[in-house]
């Protein structure tokens, strides 16, 4: 991602945005350290069947303000806080140790120091950007423009794993196992070209979006002024118009998530005919992809449309667009006035966050972005002991066993389809805590006095790492998240799961907590990731990670009907009068939540081994299980950020994720939920998929 601190959507994973840390929240949290569900967070005056989310989280929501430097906060921010403190400690120790030049620890220390060097950043001003801006100014014709557009291509999108569909460059590259040949890395190309979070920010006519667009125009003017451009008003007009035209060519997020629409193979020689306008020969040469014969084009119509715009829009507009995007994408590493203007628009205006995160936290974010494995190697060694790994291993094995039993018991599924589903579980690679091999950062040049250069070279280093592996044999055990990430992910093309060390801690997972709480919290997260193997996207891939239809016709029809009714259920959730959840956009995540909690519930019951359910705070085991699940999703989000989530994120807001329970039969007797209560569904209307 080119915006390290503008976190966009992550998809197959369990959380949309890392619930960022806040010591502030901790100070406002009165309950003492305890194990199991947080009873002090509940609001028992709420009828569980009316609003289970508020019943489980109401007291916490009442007493917890959103910190001024956050757009959102979650019940388990404590865990993210802890992880950030842990990584800060590691970086500080490394920085004092004066490691040898060229070592990874020296790279970490220098990268962090370069970001903390505010004086140096001020004194260099726009100088680091100057040669790049001059190169743009020197572009004489559309052929040179095509070359420059190719040179700006980066590996900054990831549609399936950390699902990120956004790049402000014209297009984005993703290298991953091929749809048809999952044994080798293939080149995927995705649409891009706009700075605002999605096409809807340009195309929606709601008053809120019209206001955002007016402020965006002013922001572009301000950025151009700061960079010393003449005629900033006219240039900003051209830039915003061009982005609007690009947005009109783009495909929606719900369509982006449909694998079958994305599976389009174009030979390099096809581009000129299928998407005329852009000089593709120059583009691929600029991108270093001239030898790559074949691509998967995720959104063919967008490629045709955007390429035509390269021809039809004036050269001057494209040059302004290139220059502005360069400044915007590197604003965090330029003088304070530029970084502040960028924050004021992208965070304050778009999400409503009043103040910047402390600089040291952003510095850690930068290290995680470019040296995630180098830092993660130390983190895992220090904070993820073998005992924790053994406990997590056992829980995952238990959840997979539950899932197997559920598949066998499905009344609607034919034996042939069941056998294929079981095969996917046989070959599933489950990574727990940290990867078996680490990324090699030798060759990434880091200088303590050059943050702009570090970021520029870091983006290119990653891009070239991706280029180098095109055509190579796939490492199915490669991770896509660092161990210090508070999240988890399913990698459908590798048929693999990653559970980073940082999420396998309290309050998600606590060896001292009752099984009911652990299965409801981390168990449902583990179940969620396993379930992605069988969600609306994952179900398109076979046991080798290839796109293959392994379903009988009748089973697929049943699956599609059941998932459509789940999408319809989510369509009814309306956080704002003018904006509702898009059930098709969040479908994959909603299926994973539903199947995940089902498997976790079975795993919980199996773990009791015939023993009676433990009671805590007057709550039965079943009650604790469902409350723990709903407490995973407790949080508060500023209006702007919540609107952005609804428009750009495949995850529904936490409140609606917690309502998954209304599809689970045992939830009803556990809380005596009756007909007439708001979340009540008649048994026939409860969605059952896995």
User: DSSP code of 684?
Assistant: G
- What are the DSSP E strand ranges found in 508-622? none
* Contact flags string 592-611 toward Zn ion, x per CB under 5 A: x-------------------
* Contact flags string 291-330 toward Zn ion, x per CB under 5 A: ----------------------------------------
Nearer to Zn ion, 454 or 490 (CB): 490
Beta-bridge mates of residue 186:
176
Nearer to Zn ion, 302 or 567 (CB): 567
> Could you tell me the two tokens for 111?
């990268």
Strand 496-500 and strand 429-433: the pairing is parallel
User: DSSP code of 598?
Assistant: H
Nearer to Zn ion, 589 or 649 (CB): 589
A 10 A CB-CB count for 329 gives: 22
Q: Is the peptide bond before 507 cis (omega within 30 degrees of 0)?
A: yes
The span from the CA of 614 to the CA of 605, in Å, is 12
Nearer to Zn ion, 77 or 162 (CB): 162
Cβ of residue 497: shortest distance to Zn ion, in angstroms?
A: 11
Nearer to Zn ion, 517 or 592 (CB): 592
Which window, 163-171, 214-222, 586-594, 597-605, contacts Zn ion (CB under 5 A)? 586-594
Total of residues contacting Zn ion (CB under 5 A): 2
Which residues 49-78 are close enough to bind Zn ion by CB under 5 A? none
Cβ of residue 450: shortest distance to Zn ion, in angstroms?
A: 37
Nearer to Zn ion, 91 or 592 (CB): 592
Which residues 404-443 are close enough to bind Zn ion by CB under 5 A? none
Which window, 161-169, 177-185, 462-470, 583-591, contacts Zn ion (CB under 5 A)? 583-591
Nearer to Zn ion, 15 or 287 (CB): 15
Cβ of residue 576: shortest distance to Zn ion, in angstroms?
A: 24
* Contact flags string 137-166 toward Zn ion, x per CB under 5 A: ------------------------------
b/e per residue, 644-659, with b = 16+ CB within 10 A? bbbbbbbbbbbbbbbb
Nearer to Zn ion, 286 or 500 (CB): 500
Nearer to Zn ion, 13 or 109 (CB): 13
The span from the CA of 345 to the CA of 652, in Å, is 24
Cβ of residue 532: shortest distance to Zn ion, in angstroms?
A: 6
The span from the CA of 482 to the CA of 377, in Å, is 9
DSSP one-letter string for 317-385:
HHHHHHHHHHHHHTGGGS-HHHHHHHHIIIIIIHH---SPPPHHHHHHHHHHHHHHHHHHHHHHHHH--
Cβ of residue 94: shortest distance to Zn ion, in angstroms?
A: 33
**Of 577, 576, 639, which is closest to residue 352 (Cα–Cα)?**
639
Which window, 33-41, 161-169, 450-458, 584-592, contacts Zn ion (CB under 5 A)? 584-592
Cβ of residue 588: shortest distance to Zn ion, in angstroms?
A: 7
Which window, 37-45, 174-182, 422-430, 585-593, contacts Zn ion (CB under 5 A)? 585-593
Which residues 517-576 are close enough to bind Zn ion by CB under 5 A? none
Residue pair 389/431 in contact (Cβ under 8 Å)? The answer is no
Which window, 200-208, 291-299, 591-599, 616-624, contacts Zn ion (CB under 5 A)? 591-599
Nearer to Zn ion, 353 or 498 (CB): 498
Beta-bridge mates of residue 175:
187
Q: Which residues contact 626 (CB under 8 A, 6 or more apart)?
A: 52, 56, 520, 661, 664, 667, 670, 671
Which window, 227-235, 576-584, 588-596, 625-633, contacts Zn ion (CB under 5 A)? 588-596
Cβ of residue 489: shortest distance to Zn ion, in angstroms?
A: 8
Q: How many angstroms from the chain centroid is the CA of residue 561?
A: 27
The span from the CA of 507 to the CA of 522, in Å, is 9
Cβ of residue 587: shortest distance to Zn ion, in angstroms?
A: 11
Would you call 98 exposed, middle or buried from its count of C-beta atoms within 10 A (0-12, 13-18, 19+)? exposed
Cβ of residue 284: shortest distance to Zn ion, in angstroms?
A: 34
Question: Residue numbers of the site for Zn ion (CB under 5 A)?
Answer: 589, 592
């Amino acid at each position: 991602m080119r915006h390290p601190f503008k976190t966009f959507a992550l998809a197959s994973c369990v959380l949309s945005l890392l619930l960022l840390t806040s010591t502030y929240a901790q100070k406002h949290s009165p309950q003492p350290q305890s194990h199991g569900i947080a009873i002090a967070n509940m609001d028992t005056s709420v009828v569980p069947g009316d609003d289970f989310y508020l019943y489980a989280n109401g007291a916490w929501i009442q007493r917890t303000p959103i910190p001024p430097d956050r757009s959102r906060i979650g019940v388990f921010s404590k865990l993210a806080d802890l992880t950030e403190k842990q990584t800060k400690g590691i970086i500080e120790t490394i920085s004092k140790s004066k490691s040898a030049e060229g070592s990874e620890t020296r790279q970490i220390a220098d990268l962090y120091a370069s970001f903390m060097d505010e004086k140096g950043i001020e004194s260099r001003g726009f100088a680091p950007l100057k040669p790049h801006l001059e190169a743009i100014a020197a572009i004489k014709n559309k052929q040179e423009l095509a070359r420059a557009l190719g040179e700006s291509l980066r590996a900054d999108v990831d549609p399936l794993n950390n699902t990120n569909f956004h790049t402000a460059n014209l297009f984005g590259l993703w290298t991953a196992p091929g749809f048809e040949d999952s044994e080798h890395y293939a080149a995927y190309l995705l649409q891009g070209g706009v700075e605002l979070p999605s096409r809807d920010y340009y195309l929606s006519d709601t008053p809120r979006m019209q206001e955002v667009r007016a402020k965006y125009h002013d922001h572009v003017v301000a950025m151009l002024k700061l960079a010393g451009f003449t005629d900033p008003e006219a240039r900003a007009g051209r830039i915003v118009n061009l982005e609007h035209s690009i947005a009109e060519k783009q495909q929606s997020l719900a369509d982006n998530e449909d694998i079958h629409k994305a599976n389009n193979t174009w030979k390099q020689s096809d581009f000129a005919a299928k998407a005329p306008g852009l000089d593709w020969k120059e583009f691929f040469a600029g991108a270093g992809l001239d030898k790559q014969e074949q691509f998967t084009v995720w959104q063919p119509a967008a490629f045709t449309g955007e390429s035509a715009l390269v021809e039809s829009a004036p050269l001057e507009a494209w040059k302004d667009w290139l220059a502005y995007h360069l400044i915007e994408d590197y604003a965090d590493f330029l003088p304070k006035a530029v970084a502040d203007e960028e924050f004021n628009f992208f965070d304050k205006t778009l999400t409503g966050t009043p103040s910047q995160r402390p600089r040291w936290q952003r510095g850690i974010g930068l290290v995680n972005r470019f040296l995630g494995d180098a830092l993660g190697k130390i983190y895992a060694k220090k904070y993820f002991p073998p005992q924790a790994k053994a406990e997590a291993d056992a829980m995952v094995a238990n959840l997979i066993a539950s899932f197997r039993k559920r598949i066998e018991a499905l009344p609607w599924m034919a034996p042939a389809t069941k056998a294929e589903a079981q095969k996917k579980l046989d070959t599933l690679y489950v990574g727990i805590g940290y990867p078996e091999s680490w990324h090699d950062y030798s060759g990434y040049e880091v200088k303590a006095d050059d943050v702009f250069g570090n970021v520029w070279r870091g983006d290119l280093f990653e891009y070239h790492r991706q280029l180098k592996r095109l055509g190579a044999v796939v490492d199915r055990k490669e991770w896509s998240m660092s161990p210090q990430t508070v999240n988890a992910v399913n990698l459908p093309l590798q048929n693999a799961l990653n559970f980073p060390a940082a999420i396998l801690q309290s309050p998600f997972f606590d060896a001292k907590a009752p099984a009911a709480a652990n299965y409801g919290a981390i168990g449902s997260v583990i179940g969620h990731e396993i379930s992605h193997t069988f969600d609306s996207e994952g179900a398109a891939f076979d046991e080798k990670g290839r796109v293959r239809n392994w379903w009988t016709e009748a089973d697929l029809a049943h699956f599609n009907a059941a998932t459509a009714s789940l999408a319809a259920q989510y369509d009814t959730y309306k956080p704002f009068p003018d904006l509702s959840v898009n059930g098709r956009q969040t479908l994959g995540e909603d299926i994973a939540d539903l199947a995940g909690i089902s498997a976790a519930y079975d795993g919980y019951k199996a773990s009791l081994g015939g023993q009676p359910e433990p009671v805590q705070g007057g709550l039965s085991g079943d009650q604790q299980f469902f409350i723990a699940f709903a407490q995973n999703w407790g949080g508060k989000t500023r209006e702007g950020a919540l609107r952005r989530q609804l428009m750009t994120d495949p995850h529904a807001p936490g409140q609606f994720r917690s309502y998954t329970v209304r599809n689970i039969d045992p939830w009803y007797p556990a809380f005596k939920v009756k007909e007439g209560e708001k979340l009540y569904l008649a048994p026939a209307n409860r969605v059952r998929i896995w």
